[in-house]
Structure 1
Amino acid sequence: MKLLFAEAPAPKLNLSKKLLLLNWPFILLITGIVLVGAASLYSVAGGSLDPWASRHVVRFCFGLALLFAVAFSDIRLWLRGAYPLYLAALLLMILVPFIGVESGGARRWLGYGELSFQPSEMMKITLVLALARYYQWLPPEKIWRPDALLPPVLMIALPILLALAQPDLGTAALFAIIGGGLLFLAGVSWFYFGAVIVGVVVALPHAWEKLHDYQRERVLTFIDPERDPLGSGYHILQSKIAIGSGGLAGKGYMQGTQAQLNFLPEKHTDFIFTMFAEEMGFVGAVVLLALYLLALLFITYMALRCRSIFAKLLAAASGSRFLAYVFINVAMVTGLVPVVGVPLPLVSYGGTSMLTMIIGLGFVLNAHINRNVTFRRSEVRALW
């Protein structure tokens, strides 16, 4: 552990060196996943680039520029700015109930004219940065102490409460998963996780009473989708029909009846995996999941090679966020968890979600490029 907290000066890397250190196979892999998404969106639109496939590719090209910008940036800047960025994202989330844009009965966006974004997506990145910075300077022997656990728990709890107020139960759950995953990676005792699980179980009856009607309906539909097959259960029933009808080899590209005949709702966003499984079958679905698994193995490899706690947690937590999105989306469309509106990374149509996911992957590459960098407080000039 002494190596992780070394006070040796961090080496400076020029651009040519960073280009050599960049994990190009990983970039090619995520590009391949995006192209799978573009092909799926082309199929969803009935063989047209508009309105989704072309925008998906354009957004990825813009996101790719952001990925390189983040990957080649000085990791000390992110360590120095972690807390201010977190506070900025927190402030934007606080502003949402007052000046946010309402859609579908929920107020989750900030925007002007046709431009809008979800501050909660920004928070998913800055939360990782802030927690990773906290554990960078925390001595290993203090990780298990309750007083050392209070600051990170507060950093996680505040965005969770703000997300619940929007209301956005899915985002609140993602904050808990991302934050809890990073605490686990940092070495927090299993005892605390067990206490949280017991507390959640005890609080379930009270939490049930506080849920909105549509949220209760989602849970009841998850338990028994056929209780309202033409209403709240329609989405998941059609999703299961589409996946099951795909069989082993699928119906063929652009031949999925559930998607092409518009029986499948939200087929370009939350349920795009369903559409893909119907057309490409079990084999195609497994291949797509294998690509995600390969990406996660790349991320794990890059995280394990980092010397500093900050870089290691930054890469690993970004990977756990990537995993959480894939798992929740696939489990959601197959009926294993309630429908919560989580997109499939790099495949589902969506601007803010794609860009923030790519930025997160940019941090993974940044950590990999700076894997031999260690920090001194005097270098970082900590603001807090």
Structure 2
Amino acid sequence: MPGSGRRAGPRWQQVDLGLFIGALGLSVVGVVLVWSATRASSGGSAALKQLVALGVGIACAAVVARLDVRSVRALAPVVYVLAVLGLAAVVSPLGSTVNGSRSWIRLPGGMTLQPSELMKVALAVGLAMLLAERAERGLRQRHRDVVLAWVVAGIPVLLVLAQPDLGSALVLVAMSVVIIAAAGAPWLWTVAVLVAGAGAVAAAFLTPLLSGYQRNRLRAFLDPSLDPQGIGYQTRQVRVAIGSGGLGGQGLFEGRQTQGGFIPFQETDFVFSVAGEELGFLGAAGLVVLIGFIVVRCVVVARRADAFGRLVAIGVAVWLGVQAFENIGMNLGLMPVTGLPLPFVSSGGSSLIASWVAIGLVGNVAAASVRHRGPAGPAGVGAGGPSRATR
């Protein structure tokens, strides 16, 4: 019925409040864990910075969620170009190197910006905008469309590898593979890209593509004795911390490894170990459940959305899911240490703000789906727009 979308309820009831509540709960826990990991060395300053970033992130998510979806689609090229310029600035003299990776731009007031985190937002909306038109009509993507999509994805991937930041590059590639495949690309493209990706990972081990520091981190994953004073020491201490937490943990601010400062970069790469040691198996499992809930909600929103919204929500689900899997895996010794933060939890303003912008995007898609369906509209209309018989 014309205009039925306007009677679907107030805007705030349409944005999937469960998604926002889950992200907020995860972020608050993250602030507490960052505080615990840094209170002995820096008091509450790191936790305060995380709180400020959380406030900025929530504000950005609220703005994005209220935008008209047509505005999001129209702004996608602008956001993509700005993100690429940010990545280019990183590898220029404006960039700052930390631990062998030139991934940050220093800002006034002691703040830093990591453009690779914001690129994840830009790539999700950019690829969705590029591929949505044919997907909306249920048509398979043409080869030239897929080539253009991979050029759009390949530019930021190469710039991120130039930093070098293998972890973020793998997340961008995973997002691109799933978005392009979900948009209806011929399956041979997906197979070819996966084979090329495996070759790129092999090249990372065998060539100077990565810095010596990063190659040592990857090799130490296979044999910690190769770097007993560096990453091998870190990963052993992380496993000791998680193992000592038991079922219920040693208590907040009471973890021996955490409060003793035995784990370098614990508030960023290894924040999951704080939960494992101080909150125990139950607390760490709670984090996993919350992250899984957010990823599943993104997939649910994708199933109800039109083509553009579906591709955006799928991209966000892959981004958060792959990044969380890698971070938790490297804490448990199941994945190599690549420096990827745990979404919403690890210390880092760029990561936290970008994650909240992603939540705002998915909330926007959810609200658009409710308006298009109407309060009791058929699921088929919300999932893919009007049927092809009515076009």
TM range (shorter): 0.7 to 0.9
d(CA) in 2 for partners of 1:200 and 1:65?
36
**Equivalent residue of 1:110, what SS?**
strand
2:17 to 24, 37, 56: 24
Counterparts of 1:370 and 1:274, CA distance in 2: 39
Q: Quote how far apart the aligned CAs of 1:223 are.
A: 0.4
Deviations 1:42-97 (A, max 9, x none): 32234897112233223212221111111011111111121122122212222322
- Candidates 134, 138, 146, aligned match of 1:138: 134
Which residue pairs with 2:256 in the alignment?
257
Shift of 1:278: 0.9
**Alignment match, 1:312:** 310
The residue type paired with residue 317 of structure 2 is G
Q: Structure 1: which amino acid aligns with 2:231?
A: S
Aligned to 1:38: 31
TM-score (norm 2): 0.86
Q: CA deviation at 1:204?
A: 5.6
- Number of matched residues? 367
- Structure 1 match to 2:57: 63
**Alignment partner of 1:102 is 2:96:** yes
Kept after mapping to 2: 8 A contact 1:100/1:107: no
* Percentage identity across paired residues of the two chains: 31
TM (normalized to structure 1)?
0.87
Change (3 A) 1:304 1:202: closer
Could you say what secondary structure the match of 2:91 adopts? helix
Q: Which amino acid aligns with 2:21?
A: L
Query: In the aligned structure 1, how far is the partner of 2:2 from the partner of 2:214?
Result: 52
Q: Which residues of structure 2 form unaligned runs of 5+?
A: 373-380, 382-391
Taking the aligned partners of 1:159 and 1:67, their CA distance within structure 2 comes to 23
**AA partner of residue 363 (structure 1):** L
Gaps of 5+ in 1: 1-7, 375-384
Q: After alignment, is 271-280 or 104-113 more displaced?
A: 104-113
Task: State the one-letter code of the partner of 2:58.
Answer: L
- Offset at residue 40 of structure 1 (A): 1.5
Indicate the residue corresponding to 2:275 in structure 1. 276
In the alignment, structure 1 residue 181 sits paired with structure 2 residue 178? yes
**Deviation of the 1:13 alpha carbon:** 5.3
The one-letter code of the counterpart of 2:22 is L
1:118 to 87, 100, 114: 114
- Residue 301 of structure 2 contacts residue 313 of structure 2 at CA under 8 Å; is this kept in 1? yes
Distance 1:298 1:150 in 2: 31
**Range with bigger deviation, 20-29 or 157-166:** 20-29
Query: For the residues of structure 1 that align with 2:17 and 2:329, how far apart are their CA atoms?
Result: 30
* Comparing 48-57 and 159-168, the one that deviates more: 48-57
The match for 2:219 is 220
Structure 2 Cα separation of the partners of residues 83 and 252 of structure 1: 48
Instruction: Report the 3-state secondary structure (helix = DSSP H, G, I; strand = E; otherwise coil) of the residue aligned with 1:366.
Output: helix
User: Which residue matches 1:235?
Assistant: 234
Match of 1:196 among 193, 196, 200: 193
Deviation at 1:370, TM superposition (A): 0.6
Deviations 1:325-368 (A, max 9, x none): 21111011112221111111111111111001100110000000
**Residues 83, 119 of structure 2: 8 Å contact kept:** yes
User: What SS class does the counterpart of residue 92 from structure 2 fall into?
Assistant: helix
Do the aligned partners of 1:251 and 1:281 also contact (CA within 8 Å) in 2? yes
In 1, Cα distance between equivalents of 2:344 and 2:171: 17
